[in-house]
Structure 1
Amino acid sequence: MSFPVRAITLDLDDTLWPFAPLGERAERAMHEWLETHCPRTAIRFHPEAMHALRAQINAEHPHLAHDFSRMRLLTLERALREAGDDPARAEEGFEVFFAARNAVECYPDAIDALRRLAAHVPLMALSNGNADLARTGLAEHFRGSLNASTHGMPKPSASIFLAACESLDAPPDEVLHVGDDIELDVIGAARAGLRTCWIDRDGRDWPYDDPVPDLRFDTLAALADWLDAHAHRRITDTAAA
């Protein structure tokens, strides 16, 4: 399949790096900080209890559900207060979590694939998560970044995809959105009028007859291969004309 691609929007968690081990390390780092600096909170709110408290905070503030950093900070403030520790230390504890959350370990193919993709078209990170591109060390590959907390609406809302297209100064049907999540990435982007690429590293079955992803690969490197070939064909076709 061949179609014009003027820009790429790219999901982060579970597209460039596996999130589960990263999240576990970040949770563990914050709990270890609590054990040292706020032991009453660490005892009362072990990781499972902290997770339950975060679910409670989410239920109390549904309008903030898309802002993961804000919700985690509110959770930590509540935990410190209820345990009798100083809630003013929440910012410090969150920073420990956030530093670990951004210490990403990319899939083996991802960094080189980013370099290859960015050599052809501008890339924009488009995520519901709270990763900080500068802190991950990957910002050099991207034109910019848009996430749910800054935009105010998460994927699969069409508005976040269209805002990214506007920022990239490209029409939606010439922007390729790349991600791992069937509903948030592929279905959401398709409904917003973007082209779609499903990165399926696990060999899953596509569950729908319509829409289907325009492209499907098991690595980001395979997408880079496709774009290399696509760009070569475009140059050849232009020369022939």
Structure 2
Amino acid sequence: MRLKLITVDLDDTLWPCAPVIRGAEHALHAWLADRAPRLAEAHDTDSLRAHRMALMRDRPEIAHDLTAVRLHAMRALMEQFGYAPTLADQAVALFQQHRNRVQPYADVAPALTRLGVHCRLVAVTNGNAEVHATPLSAVFHHALTAAEAGAAKPDPALFQLAMRRVGVGPAETLHVGDDPVRDVEAARRVGIGAVWVNRDGRPWPEELPPPLLQVTELGAMVDWLVQQGWCGEDHAV
């Protein structure tokens, strides 16, 4: 088999997600304390998160678009506390700047650079990190989000959009991700082989068939793909 497309999850596959989100939320709250102090006095980062979660439950039609959720939630709070709605746009823009300050794991850039010689690399994420604003901006051919696809994984929309973008089918595609359900099982449901990136030694869910491959870092996956003959010098695109 010759791989022509590899779709790659972002958060907790290529970089740790929780620290960057915490940092962005703390930066946002500090900004609110200066620009919208009544709001900041009434809400800490936890209650702001709870407010967004409630909005997602009330507005399921936008729940897959995390930036839209954050913007709608912030606009509602600005109105509630008597601030101009334009402050919400500024607040979300500041959050997004910090959201993109990710620190990829050391193995990621070298491995993806090797893979990008042989096949198309497309980022597919339920989150709202903007790949072009991260240290990995040069390694992907395309970057797609659940907001663009209209649905979040495990819905197949992101995988289908990526395959349409590159013009390939499931047999020519591989997915790489850290979540057994949203990544591995979701990809398999549309006929795509999947590699599980398990950086912290979690057990595989007993109710699911095992993944095609389990790795703790991406270099091992690239070596395995070359050994299988799925990627190699004669497969360059």
TM-score (norm 1): 0.91
Task: Give the drift of 1:209.
Answer: 5.7
1:43-86 Cα deviation digits (max 9, x unpaired): 11111111111112112211100000000011111122222222
Structure 1: distance between partners of 2:229 and 2:59: 46
1:98-177 matched pairs, under 5 angstroms: 98-177=96-175
Moved more, 175-184 or 74-83: 74-83
Structure 1: distance between partners of 2:22 and 2:116: 30
Change (3 A) 1:209 1:36: closer
SS at match of 1:119: helix
For the Cα contact (< 8 Å) 2:5–2:119, is it kept in 1? yes
Change (3 A) 1:206 1:169: same
Task: Give the drift of 1:27.
Answer: 0.3
Change (3 A) 1:92 1:205: same
> Aligned partner of 1:225: which letter?
D
Q: List runs of 5+ in structure 2 lacking aligned partners.
A: none
Going by fraction, where is helix more abundant, 1 or 2? 1
For the Cα contact (< 8 Å) 1:30–1:97, is it kept in 2? yes
Structure 2: distance between partners of 1:208 and 1:158: 23
Structure 2: distance between partners of 1:27 and 1:234: 42
For the Cα contact (< 8 Å) 2:6–2:173, is it kept in 1? yes
1:90-135 Cα deviation digits (max 9, x unpaired): 0101111000000111111111111111122110001111111111
Change (3 A) 1:71 1:210: closer
Q: List runs of 5+ in structure 1 lacking aligned partners.
A: 237-241
Task: Give the drift of 1:211.
Answer: 3.0
1:201 maps to 199
Q: CA RMSD in A?
A: 1.8
Structure 2: distance between partners of 1:235 and 1:11: 25
1:55 maps to 53
> Aligned partner of 1:196: which letter?
A
> Aligned partner of 2:220: which letter?
A
Structure 2: distance between partners of 1:232 and 1:21: 35
Structure 1: distance between partners of 2:84 and 2:127: 28
1:26 maps to 24
Identity, in percent, stands at: 37
Structure 1: distance between partners of 2:232 and 2:23: 44
For the Cα contact (< 8 Å) 2:9–2:176, is it kept in 1? yes
TM-score (norm 2): 0.93
